[in-house]
């Protein structure tokens, strides 16, 4: 899985093809979509039009909450593949755990079937808390390859990252730039950016990469799309990493996975 990919949340379907095409031209090879984003069709169109060999691309999509449960998952996966115009995805994720619905184990059994059939090269989860991971791993056979969680300098997710390391699960950061709100203006980030002659967004993405996180920044602005992947030719110093570590406020932008149940 490429460590840096392109996220398309909140990109309307009719703009997704253009944004994904710009990203592919800029060198991104991993795209993160979801059924609920309603842009799998536009994403698939850009993938098809790119001419890039399928095996060089990494396409992720996610199962929406209303489709949890074994049979509903099978139907929802077929629908996602049809919209994407693909015969397999590289990664399929359960979007939210919905603990109150108590269906994620059954749902994941369908994921294991999809994986065994080769229609998802890898399967994983999103927004799972360590307790959800423990239960899932205890009751199913395939350890999730990935847990995609909200993670940025103001929410560094130390406990989840430790749980992932214990289980051999990759940590994927959603809203890696904190949705561009606030974190890119924090004085410590601005100072590090000045020191390296880089932008604040590049500093934050570089921090993720050096921590070992997978990142999927989103933008529809071509210059920012290119800026966000131009992060492989500089290195943050230990004191930069320490300064960013000190910014953790354990503050979520998005919902708490223990309580979020929209669509359930």
Nearest distance, CB of residue 22 and ligand NAD, angstroms: 13
Tokens for 81? 């593949």
CB of 48 to ligand NAD, least distance (A): 20
With contacts defined by CB under 6 A, name the span among 76-84, 97-105, 110-118, 168-176 that binds ligand NAD. Answer: 168-176
Q: In whole angstroms, how close is the CB of 31 to ligand NAD at the nearest point?
A: 9
The reply to whether 28 sits near ligand NAD by the rule CB under 6 A is no
Cβ closer to ligand NAD: 110 or 216?
216
The rounded distance, in Å, linking the Cα atoms of 16 and 114 is 26
Backbone angles phi, psi at 188, to 5 degrees: -60, -40
Clarify whether 92 is annotated catalytic.
no
Q: How many CB atoms lie within 10 A of CB 239?
A: 10
Measure the CA angle with vertex 100, ends 214 and 151; round to 5°: 20
CB of residue 202 to ligand NAD, shortest distance in Å: 7
227/230 Cα distance (integer angstroms):
5
Scanning 66-74, 75-83, 189-197, 223-231 for contacts with ligand NAD by CB under 6 A, the matching segment is: 223-231
Name the H helices within 117-237: 130-139, 158-167, 187-196, 200-211, 222-229
Least distance to ligand NAD from the beta carbon of 101, Å?
16
Region 176-215 residues binding ligand NAD, contact defined as CB under 6 A: 176-180, 184, 199, 201
- Between 73 and 116, name the residue whose CB sits nearer to ligand NAD: 73
Contacting ligand NAD (CB under 6 A), which of 65, 157, 219, 244? 219
In degrees, to the nearest 5, what angle opens at C-alpha 95 toward C-alphas 18 and 67? 100
> Which tokens go with 15?
């703009």
Q: Does 63 bind ligand NAD (CB under 6 A)?
A: no
**Residue closest to 179 by CA, chosen among 220, 133, 217:** 217
Nearer to ligand NAD, 69 or 180 (CB): 180
Our finding on whether 218 is near ligand NAD (CB under 6 A) is: yes
3-state secondary structure string, 48-97? HHHCCCHHHCEEEEEECHHHCCHHHHHHHHHHHHHHHCCCCEEEEEECCC
Q: Please give the positions annotated as active site.
A: 37
Q: Which residues bind ligand NAD (CB under 6 A)?
A: 7-9, 32, 95, 126-127, 148, 174-180, 184, 199, 201, 216-219, 224, 227-228, 254
């Amino acid at each position: 899985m490429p460590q840096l990919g392109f996220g398309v949340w909140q990109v309307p379907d009719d703009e997704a093809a253009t944004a994904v095409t710009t990203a592919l031209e800029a060198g991104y090879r991993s795209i993160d979509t979801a059924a609920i984003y309603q842009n799998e069709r536009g994403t698939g169109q850009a993938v098809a039009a790119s001419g890039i060999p399928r095996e060089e691309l990494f396409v992720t999509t996610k199962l929406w909450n209303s489709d949890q449960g074994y049979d509903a998952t099978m139907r929802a996966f077929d629908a996602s593949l049809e919209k994407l115009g693909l015969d397999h995805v590289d990664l399929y994720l359960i979007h939210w755990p919905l603990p109150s619905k108590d269906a994620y184990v059954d749902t994941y059994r369908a994921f294991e079937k999809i994986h065994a059939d080769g229609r998802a090269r890898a399967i994983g989860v999103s927004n799972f808390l360590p307790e959800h991971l423990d239960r899932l791993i205890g009751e199913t056979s395939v350890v999730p390859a990935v847990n995609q969680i909200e993670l940025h300098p103001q929410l560094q997710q130390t406990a989840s990252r430790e749980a992932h390391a214990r289980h051999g699960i990759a940590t994927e950061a959603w809203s890696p730039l904190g949705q561009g709100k606030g974190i890119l203006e924090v004085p410590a980030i601005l100072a590090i950016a000045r020191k390296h002659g880089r932008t604040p967004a590049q500093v934050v993405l570089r921090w993720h990469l050096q921590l070992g996180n997978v990142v999927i920044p989103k933008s529809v602005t071509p210059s920012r799309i290119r800026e966000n992947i131009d992060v492989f030719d500089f290195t943050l110093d230990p004191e930069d990493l320490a300064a960013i570590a000190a910014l953790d406020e354990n503050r979520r932008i998005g919902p708490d996975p223990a309580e979020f149940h929209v669509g359930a």
